[in-house]
Amino acid sequence: MTIVTIPTQPFAGQQPGTSGLRKKVVVFQQPHYLENFVQALFDSLEGAAGQTLVLGGDGRFHNRAAVQTILRMAAAKGFGRVLVGRGGILSTPAVSCVIRKHRAYGGIVLSASHNPGGPEGDFGIKYNVGNGGPAPEKVTEAVHARTKELRSYRISDAAAPDFDRPGTATIEQTAVEVIDPVADYAALMREVFDFDAIRGLFARGFRVRCDAMSAVGGPYAKAILEGELGAPAGTVVNAEPLPDFGDLHPDPNPVNAEDLIAHMAAADAPDFGCATDGDADRNMIVGRNFPVAPSDSLALLAAHATVVPRYAKGLAGIARSMPTSTAADRVAQALGIPCFETPTGWKFFGNLLDAGRATLCGEESYGTGSDHVREKDGLWAILFWLNILAVRGGSVESLVRAHWAQYGRNYYSRHDYEAVDSAAANALMAELRAQLPGLAGQRLNERRVALADDFAYTDPVDGSTASRQGVRVIFEDGSRIVYRLSGTGTEGATLRVYLEMYEADPARQDVPTQTALAPLITAAGALARIEQHTGRATPSVVT
Ligand code: G16
């Protein structure tokens, strides 16, 4: 067994986006493509020799081939130990948990998250640092810079050890330890939540439908909900991770999880519906015929957090991404704690969590999490809701309506224009940015603009900055329109338009969301000239 040096050429475009490098599977299947990126990553890690690396993915097509390659390259890099999930499986929150628990140097997650899988679908790779969270921008930028100059990579010529059975093998000087993907994560959930209370809920006949969307959340949800908490067998559906996700689109929102929405609208609907995404870091919560907006979910979890043992003493602060609604800000204000507004991307929460300034974090894109790990966490959010319901009683809908009655309702929607021509999308954003200086004070469809800017962020912990993070137009009544281009798509550009309007009066909190937001939707289309730029009269996905 020797470590060999393979000559290679740089690939253009190996730039990590909002969450790692995501490309079509066929792009990753090109000879040397994955190897180049992994070598660029390894070259950017100082002091990794002899340390522990965590490795796993969401089981999508190409996962196993990538695990084999990375094990052989980790051996060449000289890692002391690689902890790999059995079968190459680890959810994103589980990777974060394992890194922290075993004090690993870092971890590699093989996932394109909620993007479709299979040979025609997407693949992805992201790196998490020693705190368990996504690599900060200074790391991802260094990796990208290195990809542009790479001329060779190093790999063991030995076959990768079997990772389908528990045990430890050696490749070169590196120990490869195959771990149970669920055990450490399940132990952490036991510490965070009141499992007895949730068991009591199930013992009282509370019915749950948890849709794992044939992705990696299945084994975790089955082990914890059915195995530990006493939910009946069959509570978790689509529970087996499949390389093509069974042709489902593992993006838990009312559009892609329409089967769950239909079950929750049926006459004999369960009490509680939930879904997780490709790598199980996202969640959707649905009551009987009542989908919960992710921004509302964050606010509600914050308002009830003290029923959960881990948060019994209260929260240090809340953090939300800029496009996420301001519902959580109202709870933070009532609790007398800070609410931080960060750019889109979980990596921006890391410093706030590490510094103990934020306890709960959330995003409009169906992501919620806390300081228990450094990733968003789908099953954690589901257990949080169950813990609240077990202690407070009532239904999902009654909890949300009581929340709105107390804090007001932030009507919220996101309109996505997917696979738009990139040049057209960039032109639209450039035109919007050019209008910003003159917008304040203008009326747009009955509302007066109070502030219009391109969101910039200075991290309050380390002073690092991020600019051009989305155009926001804020009106005098607090309503907002936000425009951004997605950083996770793999085809052309995706324009995201985020719409928010506040309604304090409970008598007016039951209007259909798109109706309530109609004037803002019209204003958003006109201001950005969306149809003229993109050729699209309507969005491709509305959530
Ligand atoms: C990732 C990031 C999230 C972000 C989401 C959408 O989630 O971790 O912070 O909100 O993408 O990003 P964008 O609007 O740029 O497409 P995931 O679940 O895809 O890893």
In the prediction, which pLDDT does 262 show? 98
State yes or no: pLDDT of 96 exceeds 90. yes
Q: Tell how far the Cα of 486 is from the centroid of ligand 1, in angstroms.
A: 8
Question: Is 96 a pocket residue for ligand 1 (Cβ < 6 Å)?
Answer: no
- Report the alpha-carbon distance of residue 356 to residue 350 in Å, rounded: 10
Position with higher pLDDT, 490 vs 342: 342
- Report the alpha-carbon distance of residue 319 to residue 347 in Å, rounded: 12
Question: Is 496 a pocket residue for ligand 1 (Cβ < 6 Å)?
Answer: yes
> Probe ligand 1: pick from 23, 361, 365, 486, max atoms within 8 Å of CB?
365
In the prediction, which pLDDT does 491 show? 85
Question: Is 410 a pocket residue for ligand 1 (Cβ < 6 Å)?
Answer: no
Q: Which one, of 304, 349, 303, lies nearest residue 322 by Cα?
A: 349
Q: Which one, of 349, 351, 350, lies nearest residue 328 by Cα?
A: 349
* 467 is a catalytic site residue: no
Tokens of 445: 């469809």
Sign, CA torsion 204/210/216/222: positive
Q: What angle do CA 265, 268, 273 make, to 5 degrees?
A: 55
Q: According to CATH, what is the number of the domain 409-542?
A: 3.30.310.50
State yes or no: pLDDT of 19 exceeds 90. no
pLDDT tens figures, 45-87: 999 999 999 999 999 999 999 999 999 999 999 999 999 999 9
In the prediction, which pLDDT does 395 show? 98
State yes or no: pLDDT of 446 exceeds 90. no
pTM: 0.96
pLDDT tens figures, 199-251: 999 999 999 999 999 999 999 999 999 999 999 999 999 999 999 999 889 99
Question: Is 329 a pocket residue for ligand 1 (Cβ < 6 Å)?
Answer: no
1 pLDDT band, cuts 50/70/90, is confident
Q: Identify the active-site residue in 91, 113, 321, 413.
A: 113
In the prediction, which pLDDT does 36 show? 98
> Probe ligand 1: pick from 128, 298, 346, max atoms within 8 Å of CB?
346
- Report the alpha-carbon distance of residue 263 to residue 530 in Å, rounded: 35
How far is CA 91 from each of CA 79, 139, 234, 279, 281, rounded to the nearest angstrom? 22, 22, 21, 5, 7
Mean pLDDT of 493-522: 97
Mean pLDDT of 462-487: 96
What is the pLDDT of the chain when averaged over all its residues? 97
- Report the alpha-carbon distance of residue 144 to residue 152 in Å, rounded: 15
269 pLDDT band, cuts 50/70/90, is very high
- Per-domain residue ranges of the chain: 3-181, 185-407, 409-542
Q: Tell how far the Cα of 96 is from the centroid of ligand 1, in angstroms.
A: 16
Percent of the chain with pLDDT over 70: 100
- Report the alpha-carbon distance of residue 185 to residue 95 in Å, rounded: 9
Question: Is 368 a pocket residue for ligand 1 (Cβ < 6 Å)?
Answer: no
State yes or no: pLDDT of 490 exceeds 90. no
- Report the alpha-carbon distance of residue 114 to residue 112 in Å, rounded: 6
Q: Tell how far the Cα of 281 is from the centroid of ligand 1, in angstroms.
A: 10
Mean pLDDT of 96-119: 96
Question: Is 22 a pocket residue for ligand 1 (Cβ < 6 Å)?
Answer: no
> Probe ligand 1: pick from 115, 256, 344, 417, max atoms within 8 Å of CB?
344
- Report the alpha-carbon distance of residue 121 to residue 118 in Å, rounded: 5
Tokens of 425: 């999308």
391 Cβ contact list (under 8 Å, min separation 6): 194, 197, 307
First to last CA, the chain: 53
489 pLDDT band, cuts 50/70/90, is confident
pLDDT tens figures, 474-484: 999 999 999 99
Query: Atom of ligand 1 at shortest distance to CA of 488?
Result: 16
- Report the alpha-carbon distance of residue 362 to residue 364 in Å, rounded: 7
Question: Is 253 a pocket residue for ligand 1 (Cβ < 6 Å)?
Answer: no
**Phi, psi (deg, nearest 5) at residue 85:** -65, 140
135 pLDDT band, cuts 50/70/90, is very high
Residue whose token pair is 């094990």: 71
State yes or no: pLDDT of 488 exceeds 90. no
pLDDT tens figures, 405-435: 999 999 999 999 999 999 999 999 999 999 9
- 185-407 and 409-542 have identical folds: no
Radius of gyration of the chain (CA): 23
H/E run at residue 191: helix 183-192
H/E run at residue 221: helix 217-221
Q: According to CATH, what is the number of the domain 185-407?
A: 3.40.120.10
Q: Tell how far the Cα of 365 is from the centroid of ligand 1, in angstroms.
A: 7
Q: Are 450 and 440 in contact (CB under 8 A)?
A: yes
In the prediction, which pLDDT does 417 show? 97
State yes or no: pLDDT of 18 exceeds 90. no
- Report the alpha-carbon distance of residue 451 to residue 87 in Å, rounded: 51
For 23, which DSSP code? E
> Probe ligand 1: pick from 325, 363, 468, max atoms within 8 Å of CB?
363
The two most distant CA atoms of the chain are separated, in Å, by 73
Question: Is 472 a pocket residue for ligand 1 (Cβ < 6 Å)?
Answer: no
Query: Domain 3-181 belongs to what topology?
Result: Alpha-D-Glucose-1,6-Bisphosphate; Chain A, domain 3 (3.40.120)
Q: Are 302 and 335 in contact (CB under 8 A)?
A: yes
State yes or no: pLDDT of 112 exceeds 90. yes
Q: Are 116 and 491 in contact (CB under 8 A)?
A: no
State yes or no: pLDDT of 403 exceeds 90. yes
pLDDT tens figures, 150-190: 999 999 999 999 999 999 999 999 999 999 999 999 999 99
What single string gives the DSSP state of each residue in 348-373? GGHHHHHTTS-SEEEETTTEEEETTS
Going by alpha carbons, the residue nearest to atom 18 of ligand 1 is 113
pLDDT tens figures, 32-45: 999 999 999 999 99
Mean pLDDT of 447-459: 97
DSSP strand pairing (409-420 vs 367-370): unpaired
Q: Tell how far the Cα of 526 is from the centroid of ligand 1, in angstroms.
A: 27
Q: Tell how far the Cα of 277 is from the centroid of ligand 1, in angstroms.
A: 12
Going by alpha carbons, the residue nearest to atom 19 of ligand 1 is 113
Q: Tell how far the Cα of 168 is from the centroid of ligand 1, in angstroms.
A: 34
State yes or no: pLDDT of 124 exceeds 90. yes
Question: Is 62 a pocket residue for ligand 1 (Cβ < 6 Å)?
Answer: no
387 pLDDT band, cuts 50/70/90, is very high
Other beta carbons within 10 angstroms of residue 172's beta carbon come to 17
In the prediction, which pLDDT does 248 show? 86
Query: Atom of ligand 1 at shortest distance to CA of 494?
Result: 16
Question: Is 57 a pocket residue for ligand 1 (Cβ < 6 Å)?
Answer: no
Amino acid sitting at position 227: G
